[in-house]
Chain A
């Protein structure tokens, strides 16, 4: 909806409000980034000097490094698992015909509406009973549950714009059902799959609440380590880690914009 210059939809007030909102959105991230390069041990502003020591701590100190690696591992597995299962389900929902499809689709999205703390409590009970507390497996399972709806939505949206005729045509040319899906539909849906996978990765990598309940001391994820760091430490290492996570977000947005569905 872009109108010509003289007929702009928005006036001075809107621009002012928007600038305020945008500054509000971006400034905190910039401030954290600035602090992360501070030479001071304390959260001083303006920073007295420039230093990379907090990044060094973040990447070399054993507890931070272990947390980073664990989060990377878990998030990668979650991204793969959620994308595969979610894509299959999307295909099933869009191409399949069964009763109560609408209701079941809504039910499939419930993890998105349920508060993180509730998921965390339930997960805690489940994994306590399975003896899986403080394990990678538990984190992977819980995070996959949280990521599945996002993949489902992303792939479904992409799928809805693909003409089912393409698949039928492939089958008239001799392909089996699965082969047609794999060679024709899936490549057409790739942007949705990529967006879903990116979002699944980021969801797991950044997830703090379930990790707080399930991680304990043996499966400490980066968010869990950050939470402890924020509560008990005063140096800006948390700011350095935060800046890294902000860069992850920027990367994800750029990748999604380029290779994924450009979601409005």
Chain B
């Protein structure tokens, strides 16, 4: 027998061996166990508390959540803020992703690092940085005062612009990386072909690159929207009363009002909203993600 005939037989023997020694699938058990303990059980507790565990079992907390208009308003506010943040991230992120995709390898590593360093920096630090910039006695006001552009400090924080600036800052890398990944998947020859057929840069961008990187734009937008919906730290530090998000309300109920049941109900509602959005997005995005390559 030749060597190439022997090898498959030996391989088959080894594979048969594996069936006796146990399936690799068992290796996922520790992960599943840990996650069930650290996520599954807490979620079960949350549902239990939301239904009145600890006091009287009832659905009253959900009824309250749905019937008192202030909470619907908070959810709506949070959605609006998230939508605005998403738009800002697209506006800033698309050019950067395009730039990244178009430059040389060496420069790209450097620019990517500039995107990754904020990405890996603590959310708290990044939110605090904007507090430092936007405060009454903060950097921007100081600069404007020193250069006599204004005579009194402008209120730049504890309001909507402050929150938008901070949240856009935190989430921009997600958008950039998503769009960039999609752009990278585009076959090089396509924009070249378009250009050789006479298309200028704008047309190449609008009619070739944008449609083909659509999945990256959708994935990035979904990610940014969903993440900002659940935000707590950044809006708490940079927003005012009218920028109260769902996360902040949950924190208030749990840590100040100490109404654990109601807090749990809001948390469950938030989770359901986010899971709902994820499911919808998965249906829209999944086919897109499969078509990572360029189409004719």
Give A contacts to B, CB under 8 Å. Answer: 1-3, 7-11, 13-18, 20-22, 24-26, 28-29, 31-32, 35, 42-46, 85-86, 88-89, 91-93, 95-98, 104, 108, 110-111, 113-119, 121-126, 129, 141-142, 144-145, 148, 152, 168-169, 171-172, 176-178, 199, 202, 205-206, 208-209, 212-213, 223, 226-227, 230, 238-239, 242, 245-246, 249-250, 252-254, 257, 264
Determine whether B257 belongs to the interface, using a CB cutoff of 8 Å to chain A.
Answer: no
When distances are taken between beta carbons in the complex, the residues of chain B under 8 Å from A21 are 92-93, 95-96, 172, 176
Evaluate contact between A202 and B39: CB separation under 8 angstroms. Answer: no
Which 9 A-B pairs have CB atoms at the shortest separation, nearest pair first?
A115-B230, A122-B42, A17-B95, A96-B25, A92-B27, A206-B122, A145-B38, A89-B31, A92-B28
Evaluate contact between A32 and B125: CB separation under 8 angstroms. Answer: yes
Q: A9-B201, A89-B28 are in contact. Are A42 and B101 (CB under 8 A)?
A: no
Evaluate contact between A28 and B137: CB separation under 8 angstroms. Answer: no
Q: A89-B27, A125-B42 are in contact. Are A25 and B114 (CB under 8 A)?
A: yes
Name B102-131 residues within 8 Å CB distance of A: 102-105, 109, 111-126, 128-131
Evaluate contact between A92 and B129: CB separation under 8 angstroms. Answer: no
What's the minimum C-beta distance from B230 to chain A, rounded to whole angstroms?
2
A10 to B118, CA, bound (A): 24
Closest to A253 in B: B116
Determine whether B195 belongs to the interface, using a CB cutoff of 8 Å to chain A.
Answer: yes
When distances are taken between beta carbons in the complex, the residues of chain A under 8 Å from B45 are 122, 125-126, 129
When distances are taken between beta carbons in the complex, the residues of chain B under 8 Å from A121 are 42, 46, 250, 254, 263-264, 267
Evaluate contact between A144 and B117: CB separation under 8 angstroms. Answer: no
Give B contacts to A, CB under 8 Å. Answer: 7, 10-11, 13-15, 17-18, 21-32, 34-35, 37-39, 41-43, 45-46, 49, 91-96, 98-105, 109, 111-126, 128-133, 135, 137-139, 142-143, 169, 172-173, 176-177, 180-181, 183-184, 186, 188, 191-192, 195, 201-202, 204-205, 209, 226-227, 229-233, 237, 247, 250-251, 254-255, 260, 263-264, 267, 270-271, 274-275, 278
When distances are taken between beta carbons in the complex, the residues of chain A under 8 Å from B101 are 1, 9
Evaluate contact between B46 and A17: CB separation under 8 angstroms. Answer: no
Evaluate contact between B102 and A245: CB separation under 8 angstroms. Answer: no
**Contact residue among A42, A92, A115 (Cβ-Cβ distance under 8 Å from B270):** A115
Evaluate contact between A91 and B114: CB separation under 8 angstroms. Answer: no
When distances are taken between beta carbons in the complex, the residues of chain A under 8 Å from B92 are 17, 20-21, 24
Q: A88-B30, A118-B270 are in contact. Are A42 and B137 (CB under 8 A)?
A: yes
A114 to B43, CA, bound (A): 11
Closest to B249 in A: A117
Evaluate contact between B191 and A3: CB separation under 8 angstroms. Answer: yes
Mind listing 25 A-B residue pairs with CB under 8 Å? Answer: A8-B201, A9-B204, A15-B95, A15-B99, A18-B95, A28-B132, A35-B139, A42-B137, A44-B142, A85-B31, A92-B27, A113-B226, A117-B250, A117-B270, A121-B250, A122-B45, A122-B46, A142-B38, A226-B125, A239-B128, A242-B128, A249-B122, A264-B112, A264-B180, A264-B181
What's the minimum C-beta distance from A2 to chain B, rounded to whole angstroms?
5
Evaluate contact between A141 and B38: CB separation under 8 angstroms. Answer: yes
**Contact residue among B24, B49, B230 (Cβ-Cβ distance under 8 Å from A91):** B24
Interface centre among A1, A144, A152, A223 (most CB of B within 10 A): A1
When distances are taken between beta carbons in the complex, the residues of chain A under 8 Å from B260 are 125
Evaluate contact between A45 and B142: CB separation under 8 angstroms. Answer: yes
Closest to B43 in A: A122
A206 to B263, CA, bound (A): 25
A191 to B142, CA, bound (A): 46
When distances are taken between beta carbons in the complex, the residues of chain A under 8 Å from B278 are 113
Closest to A239 in B: B132
Evaluate contact between A92 and B26: CB separation under 8 angstroms. Answer: yes
Evaluate contact between A22 and B114: CB separation under 8 angstroms. Answer: yes
Evaluate contact between B27 and A29: CB separation under 8 angstroms. Answer: no
A191 to B104, CA, bound (A): 24
Evaluate contact between B120 and A95: CB separation under 8 angstroms. Answer: no
Evaluate contact between A25 and B130: CB separation under 8 angstroms. Answer: no
What's the minimum C-beta distance from A53 to chain B, rounded to whole angstroms?
18
**Contact residue among A43, A118, A212 (Cβ-Cβ distance under 8 Å from B132):** A43
A227 to B32, CA, bound (A): 33
When distances are taken between beta carbons in the complex, the residues of chain B under 8 Å from A15 are 95, 99
Evaluate contact between B233 and A208: CB separation under 8 angstroms. Answer: yes
When distances are taken between beta carbons in the complex, the residues of chain B under 8 Å from A226 are 124-125, 128
A213 to B289, CA, bound (A): 37
When distances are taken between beta carbons in the complex, the residues of chain A under 8 Å from B172 are 21, 24-25
When distances are taken between beta carbons in the complex, the residues of chain A under 8 Å from B41 are 126
What's the minimum C-beta distance from A19 to chain B, rounded to whole angstroms?
9
Evaluate contact between A115 and B181: CB separation under 8 angstroms. Answer: no
Closest to A123 in B: B42
